[in-house]
Amino acid sequence: MKQYKLMGALAFSGALALALSGCAADTGNNTGDGGDKDAAPVETKSADYNPQDRENLAKGGEARFPINEIPEQMNAFHGDGSADTARVAAWYMPQVMLQEADGTPYKNDAYLDEWSIDEVDGNTQITFTFTDEAHWNDGTDMDWTAIDATWKANRSIDEGFVPNATDGYKAIKSVEQGDSAKTAIVTFDGIFAWPEMPFLTGVLHPALADPTTFNEALIGEPHPEWGAGPYKIEEFDKNSQYISFVPNELWWGNEPLLDRVSFQAMEASASINAFKADEIDMVGVGTKDRMEQVKDMEDITIYRSTQTANTLLEIDADKPQFEDVKVREAFFKAVNIDQQKEIAWNGLDYEEEPAGSFTLFPFQPGYSNALAEAGWEYNPDAAKELLDEAGWTEGEDGIREKDGEKLSVVYPIFGDDPTTEALAKALQAQQKAVGIDVQIEVRPSTDFSNDYVSKNWDIASLRFTSSDPFGAAWFCQLYCMDMGLNLSGVQTPEMDERIHEEVESLPTADEQTAAAMKLEAEIFQEWGLIPLYNGPSISAVKTGLANLTPEPYVGLDGFGVQPVENVGWEK
C-alpha cells in the first residue's frame, strides 16, 4: 500500500487503499476529539493502540467490530478491493510480513524462517524461506509457489489479471525455487530502490495464479480454503453483511487469544448506537457529535492517533461536464479547503499542516506541498473566469449553461453521518457560488465500493489510505493508467512513460522521492483529484481491548501490521 487502498475500499497488494470519507462505522476515520476550549490541547500520537505483550492478556473472549461494508470483491489483491477488503482478509489470510508502527517491516516467524535482501550480480535479490509447518487451509504446502503466484498476478495488467498495483512486482525478472520448495529466490532487474516493499501485504494461494480465478472467484465468496492463519471463517453472510472468525485448528503458531472476532457492516448512526448498547467493542468517534454521545460512558477509553490517509475530492474527467480541463480547474479553485476542515473538525482540538500530496504525508521527510506548487488556491473569482473561458455562461438561476445544458454534476455521499452531509452541503454551496450545480445523492455505505469502481458518480469524496511509508515506490499505482485507484480519467500513456523514466528508473529511494514530488505538482495541473486533509484517527474502545487495528490500511497503529492472534483483552 506504500500501497494505497480506497478507504471505504482498495486492494491488498498496493500501498494505497480506497476508503469511505466519513467517520461512520469505521474504527475512526478523519476527524478529531471533542473537548473544552479552555482545556489543555489533546495530544494526537503517531500511534495509540494499547500495545500489550501476550503475557498481559487473557485467553478467551470476543471482539466485535463495525465496518463500512463487507465488499463484494474479497480478493484483497484485486483492483476492485478496498481497505475494508484488506481488513477482513487480514483475519484469515497469511500475514507473512509484519510492520512496526513507523512502517519498518519484519518477517512473521510463524511463516518465514528467512527473509533477506542481498545484491547478487548487480541485481537486488530477496530470499523467502517458509517454515516447515506453514501451509494453506486446504492442505497445500506454503512454499515458493505462493511467492511465484503473487508475482505473476500483480506484475502486469497485460496478462488478464486486474491487480491493485503493479509497483514493485513489475520490476522483478524472476521467481525461482531455491535449495528446496520451501525457498523462493526473487530477482529484480538491476538494483531496486525499494527492496522492503514487495510482498509486504501478503501472498496468494497458487490457485489464484489464473486470471479468471484471480478476478472472479472471490466475488461474494471468501474461499476460506485458500486462507491460512490463526483464525478461520466461522460465518459469512453477504446479505446481512456479517463475517465472523474463530480459532483455526490447523494453525501452527502462537495460539489466538480470542474465541471469536466479528465484523458487521453498519451505517454511522447504527454503529454509535450499537456501541452504546454494548453490541460492538470499538467505534469511530471522529466528530464532535459522536464524541458527545460516548463521553459519559463508563469503562471505555478514547484512542487518538495520526492517520496515514488522505481525504480527497475527485472528478470524473470522462463525464462531458468535466472534459475541459478549465472546468475541472474551476471546480477545484471553488473548493474552500479551510472551510471543509472547519466542518470536519468542528469543536475539535486538532490542527495539521496542509495535506498537499498523495505521495508523502506532511510528517515524512522529503514532503512538499505539491498542490500549492501546482497553482491551487481557493479563488472563486478565478474559477468564474475559467468557466467563462470554457464557454459556460451564467443562466437566470445563476447556474452555468452551454449548448442548452446545465453545468450540473452528481455527488454521492455514503452513509448517514451528519458531518459527511454537512461537508457535502458546504461543497454544494461553494460550487453554486461560481455557477456549478452539485446534486447530492445519499446512498448506503454498502454501495460504496461498487459505485466507485463503476464510476457511478461525477464527483467523489473518499480516502486513500496507505499501507506503508514508502511513498514514491507506489507512484504508478496512483498516477498510471488502468490501475483502478485513481479513476479521474486524466492519466495518459505519455505520463506513464514519464513516471517510468523520471521516477522509477532512478537508482535510490531519495532520488525517486524528490522526482515524484516534483512530478506530482505537474500531474495535479490536470485537475483530476486533490487532497483535502489527513486528519486523526479517533476511536472509543471498551477498556482492556489491546493491540488494536492489526490490519493494514486502517486504525490507530500508524503503518503498523500486527499479528491478529495478539489482539485480546487485558487480564
Strands (E), 131-188: 172-177, 183-188
| 39 domain residue, yes or no | no
| 290 domain residue, yes or no | no
Query: pLDDT averaged over the chain?
Result: 92
Question: Would you place residue 11 in the very low, low, confident or very high pLDDT band (cuts 50, 70, 90)?
Answer: very low
What is the pairing mode between strands 231-237 and 242-247? antiparallel
pLDDT (0 to 100) of residue 306 = 87
pLDDT (0 to 100) of residue 85 = 94
Lowest mean pLDDT among 85-89, 343-347, 371-375, 437-441: 343-347
Per the structure, the complete domain to which residue 429 belongs is given by 313-535
Mean pLDDT along residues 92-101: 96
Q: How far apart are CA 436 and CA 486, in angstroms?
A: 23
| 184 domain residue, yes or no | no
| 16 domain residue, yes or no | no
> CA of 466: how far to CAs of 19, 283, 558, in Å?
10, 21, 9
Segment holding 301, helix H or strand E: strand 300-306
Q: How far apart are CA 76 and CA 64, in angstroms?
A: 21
Lowest mean pLDDT among 57-71, 92-106, 470-484: 470-484
Number of folded domains in the chain? 1
Q: With 0-12 CB in 10 A as exposed, 13-18 as middle and 19+ as buried, what is 4?
A: buried
pLDDT over 70 at 279, yes or no: yes
Is 3 within 8 Å of 468 (Cβ atoms)?
yes
Lowest mean pLDDT among 61-65, 108-112, 142-146, 266-270: 266-270
User: Residues 124-139: pLDDT tens digits?
Assistant: 999 999 999 999 999 9
| 29 domain residue, yes or no | no
pLDDT (0 to 100) of residue 364 = 93
Q: With 0-12 CB in 10 A as exposed, 13-18 as middle and 19+ as buried, what is 461?
A: buried
pLDDT (0 to 100) of residue 43 = 83
Question: Would you place residue 30 in the very low, low, confident or very high pLDDT band (cuts 50, 70, 90)?
Answer: very low
Choose among 164, 252, 263: nearest CA to 214.
164
C-alpha cell of 103?
512502517
Q: Which residues does residue 6 pair with via DSSP β-bridges, in sequence order?
A: 18, 464
pLDDT over 50 at 88, yes or no: yes
pLDDT (0 to 100) of residue 509 = 95
User: Residues 424-442: pLDDT tens digits?
Assistant: 999 999 999 999 999 999 9
Q: How far apart are CA 134 and CA 96, in angstroms?
A: 10
pLDDT (0 to 100) of residue 532 = 97
What's at 154, amino acid-wise?
N
| 402 domain residue, yes or no | yes
Residue with cell string 466519513: 22
pLDDT over 50 at 528, yes or no: yes
Is 478 within 8 Å of 11 (Cβ atoms)?
no
pLDDT over 60 at 25, yes or no: no
pLDDT (0 to 100) of residue 13 = 39
Q: How far apart are CA 272 and CA 283, in angstroms?
A: 7
pLDDT (0 to 100) of residue 7 = 47
Nearest 10 degrees: Cα torsion 207, 211, 213, 219:
130
User: Residues 141-150: pLDDT tens digits?
Assistant: 999 999 999 9
pLDDT over 70 at 501, yes or no: yes
CATH assignment at residue 414: 3.10.105.10
Task: Kindly state the greatest CA–CA separation across the chain.
Answer: 77
Segment holding 126, helix H or strand E: strand 123-130
pLDDT (0 to 100) of residue 2 = 54
Mean pLDDT along residues 373-397: 97
Q: DSSP readout, 357-381?
A: -SSS-TTSTT---HHHHTT----HH
Q: How far apart are CA 56 and CA 396, in angstroms?
A: 69
pLDDT (0 to 100) of residue 536 = 86
Mean pLDDT along residues 499-507: 95
Q: Percentage of the chain surpassing pLDDT 90?
A: 82
pLDDT (0 to 100) of residue 347 = 72
Q: How far apart are CA 175 and CA 181, in angstroms?
A: 12
pLDDT over 50 at 106, yes or no: yes
pLDDT over 90 at 28, yes or no: no
pLDDT over 90 at 17, yes or no: no
| 501 domain residue, yes or no | yes
Q: Which residues does residue 305 pair with via DSSP β-bridges, in sequence order?
A: 45, 537
| Distance spanning both ends of the chain, measured CA to CA | 34
Lowest mean pLDDT among 7-21, 324-338, 356-370: 7-21
pLDDT over 70 at 378, yes or no: yes
Mean pLDDT along residues 140-166: 95
Mean pLDDT along residues 23-28: 40
Question: Would you place residue 170 in the very low, low, confident or very high pLDDT band (cuts 50, 70, 90)?
Answer: very high
Greater pLDDT, 314 or 39: 314
Choose among 468, 548, 505, 510: nearest CA to 104.
468
pLDDT (0 to 100) of residue 9 = 36
Residue with cell string 504525508: 361
pLDDT over 90 at 346, yes or no: no
Greater pLDDT, 193 or 482: 193
| 345 domain residue, yes or no | yes
C-beta atoms surrounding 78 within 10 Å: 28
pLDDT over 50 at 32, yes or no: no
Q: What angle do CA 451, 452, 458 make, to 5 degrees?
A: 95
pLDDT over 50 at 35, yes or no: no
pLDDT (0 to 100) of residue 19 = 74
Q: Which residues does residue 184 pair with via DSSP β-bridges, in sequence order?
A: 128, 177
pLDDT over 50 at 407, yes or no: yes
